[in-house]
Chains A and B, each alone.
Chain A
Amino acid sequence: MGEPGTKEPLSLEELEAATNMRTGRKHVLSILVENKSGVLTRIAGLFARRGFNIATLTVGPTEDTEISRVTLTVDGALHPIDQVTKQLHKLVNVLKIRDLEPGDTVARELALFKVTADGAQRGELMQIAEIFRGKVVDVTKRAIIIEVTGTTDKIEAFETMVRPFGLIEMMRTGEIAISRGRSET
């Protein structure tokens, strides 16, 4: 910006307010934090007291031992994402936040399904697992454990398929996500 006082007029009617509206979609926030005690509590506490609901949350180390990554998903239909990220930025231990664009992101979740499987059912389940590129990681007389990796949609589709067989337990990690291309997430 150069010299002050350019004189082209401005009409107040044309000014538009910042959209603080709900986006209506799921947001994946990738947050780099200092690897210090209590940081996760600060993030979780912030969400709780501002009334924001965390859909999924994963925490893990990064290539730098002093930095951890928190990946969390928030429903943009329920919360103003802009306000969520601004509040997160106020935490001193939060280094960087990226609201990952769905089209530019590879996101994966790991899930373990323990399903009732005796005799005839076992074969059918294994076929379904194969279609979903799942792996059978344990088989006992009356149950089978299948590991599935993929997007949330895929895991939910798999769940729909195996539920009728008798879903004993399901464990999901929550999504982790990384941006595509050469640049850092």
Chain B
Amino acid sequence: MRAVDALMECLKAEGVDVVFGLPGGANLPTYDALVNGGIRHILVRHEAGGGHAAEGYAKATGKVGVAFATSGPGATNLITPITDAMMDSVPCVFVTGQVRTELLGTDGFQEADTIGITMPIVKHSIMIQSPQELPRAIHEAFHIARTGRPGPVLVDIPMDLSRAEIDYEPVSDVRLPGYQPRVEGNQKQIRQAAKALAAAQRPVIYAGGGVVNAEGSEELIEFARSDRFPVTCTLMGLGAYPAPDAQWLGMLGMHGTRAANYAMDEADLICAVGARFDDRITGKLSEFAPRAKFIHIDVDPAEISKNVPAHIPIVGDAKHVLAKLVVEYRAIGADPGRLEAWWSRIEGWKAKYPLSYEDSADSEIKPQFLIQALAEATGGEAILTSDVGQHQMWAAQHYDFPAPRRWINSGGLGTMGFGLPAAMGAAVGCPDRLVCCIAGDGSVQMNAQELATCAQNGIPIKVFIMNNGYLGMVRQWQELFWDGKYSQVDMGEFPDFVKLAEAYGVTGLRFADKTTLVEDIKRAIAIDGPVLVDVRVTREENTYPMIPAGHAAREMVG
């Protein structure tokens, strides 16, 4: 069979049930093999849409997302999704076409050095140099993408090699001597961590996306409840610990709650699990959690002590390590009474500084109200994707996520235009679940073309545009930190989103009245097929509270 036919066999052996992509000259053989390949393919309208859809699929299902693109511009259009997947540790395999081997290096038509361009943004990449290598390369790619700290792997296949005949034999083992991720965690270190936790008077659990990736949510909950440990999650970790809950502090970081940030500030021991002390968490590094010692659990050893030196480093994944940590901690029999004073301090913050906003006196929809209405209308049960900006932060603050893999957003890279295609991928991966996207009027236009994909394939995502006519987060920063001088943030009244939806064959609606909003949202959700809703909200509203960039948690404003 041809190498591309073997590619289909390999994908099926890896459990791939859907691929997102767009054909072109250099991957014509792949698309020919697809016809009888037995794999569902969703034809996207732009490779970036396909890449983000693969990410959304991966984040919603926990499986590896797959996207195809042709050489040159097809591959370069994948750059943003690949970088996004790298920053947020999303397991994805990208298969790109490449020009014929005889044309490599000649600036041939639609030639780009895809391996070279993507080198800094992939977990690994493989250039196929002989057609016989392809099956093993594909299995290696999946193995690397999904194990250890997940991430994007790219396989680049020159066109002449993809159509070449090979002797295909199923590959049953993957041998990668230079890649041996450790997941178990060192028992001695875990015991040391348990003892430190038992000695702590003001502990905080700080959990990130690594808990979601490791499917370690149950273990996190059990660990937190093995005592009354306060829990906060990063933007990427939301849902790993159910909200709301008595031990839940809310999200931490730049737009986190005061309870979470103040608790970090006063903690004597912080147990970081699958989190990487990003600058949006720490603020001013030299004043971050000045009284705390750190336990740092991460499957990627390079994250430990990268930004904040760890006192007890544990290399391993959240699921394995937390399960062992609970056993060790319970065996010590620590006195839960020692946390009384700490909890009364935290309860004081929670009572004094709840997330709040001033609601409108008339029927105007405040953006925070939109999120709360969305939470109410969906019963908190939707998979919610978002773009990047104010709406993302309000969603993170006000939509209480009860379980992992319900909140899908672009955290590390902060990619506008992520939400709509990610929702599409999530809906394809989880056809029985309601998938909503909360988008900004700026962000949504960056991948709006995928509405056509949704319409053509009947992918029933419900997109709610929080429309304030601004690039809202940039406007907020200009208001607060650049003397209120607005520069290039006014998006005006364009486009007419209802007409845009209709042009794409998607139901278009417009909501502007808060008194009927919950019912309106329920009505939109009940419509079959994809729906795009233009929700008119307060034009100038700021996302608070906020730690200004480079400041300490104590300096929260709003």
Contacts and interface: CB of A to CB of B under 8 A. Distances in A.
B310 A95 contact: no
B379 interface: no
Contacts of A92: 123-124, 144, 176, 178-179
A94 interface: yes
B41 interface: no
Interface residues of A, number: 35
Contacts of A4: 191, 194, 327-328, 331
Interface of A: prevailing SS: loop
B331 A12 contact: no
Interface string B108-143: 000000011001100110010100000000000000
A83 B304 CA distance: 9
B61 interface: no
A20 B327 contact: no
Q: Which residue, of B195, B300, B310, has the highest number of chain A Cβ atoms within 10 A?
A: B195
B294 A12 contact: no
A156 B177 CA distance: 39
A49 B119 CA distance: 11
A41 B310 contact: no
A93 B332 contact: no
A34 B199 contact: no
B311 A37 contact: no
A141 interface: no
A160 interface: no
Contacts of A86: 301-302
A131 interface: no
Contacts of B176: 92
A20 B310 CA distance: 9
A176 B433 CA distance: 59
B175 to A, nearest CB: 11
A65 B191 CA distance: 44
Given A15-B293, A45-B119, A20 B305 contact: yes
Interface in B272-331: 293-294, 300-302, 304-306, 309-313, 327-328, 330-331
A11 interface: yes
A19 B309 contact: yes
B192 interface: yes
Q: Which residue, of A5, A12, A45, has the highest number of chain B Cβ atoms within 10 A?
A: A12
Contact of B302 (A5, A12, A15, A83): A83
A12 B196 contact: yes
Question: What size tier do the contact residues of chain B reach?
Answer: 35 or more
Interface in A81-103: 82-83, 86-87, 89-95
Contact of B309 (A8, A9, A11, A18): A18
Contacts, number: 88
A45 to B, nearest CB: 5
A120 interface: no
A10 B192 contact: yes
Contact of A45 (B120, B187, B196, B200): B120
B9 interface: no
Contacts of A19: 309
A108 interface: no
B360 to A, nearest CB: 47
A12 B200 contact: yes
B534 interface: no
A94 B191 contact: no
A43 to B, nearest CB: 11
A5 B195 CA distance: 9
B309 A17 contact: yes
B316 to A, nearest CB: 14
A7 B332 contact: yes
Contact of A37 (B129, B191, B198, B331): B129
B450 interface: no
A136 to B, nearest CB: 42
Contact of A10 (B144, B198, B333): B198
Contact of A1 (B191, B294, B306, B312): B191
Nearest to B149: A90
A38 interface: yes
A41 B119 contact: yes
In the A-B complex, the 5 residue pairs with the smallest Cβ-Cβ separation, listed nearest first, are A5-B331, A17-B309, A86-B302, A10-B195, A1-B187
22 contacts: A1-B191, A5-B330, A5-B333, A7-B332, A10-B192, A10-B198, A12-B196, A12-B268, A15-B196, A17-B293, A17-B294, A18-B313, A19-B309, A38-B115, A38-B127, A41-B119, A86-B302, A89-B302, A92-B123, A92-B144, A92-B176, A92-B179
Interface of A: 1, 4-12, 15-20, 33-34, 37-38, 41-42, 45, 49, 82-83, 86-87, 89-95
Interface of B: 115-116, 119-120, 123-124, 127, 129, 144, 176-179, 187-188, 191-192, 194-196, 198-200, 268-269, 293-294, 300-302, 304-306, 309-313, 327-328, 330-333
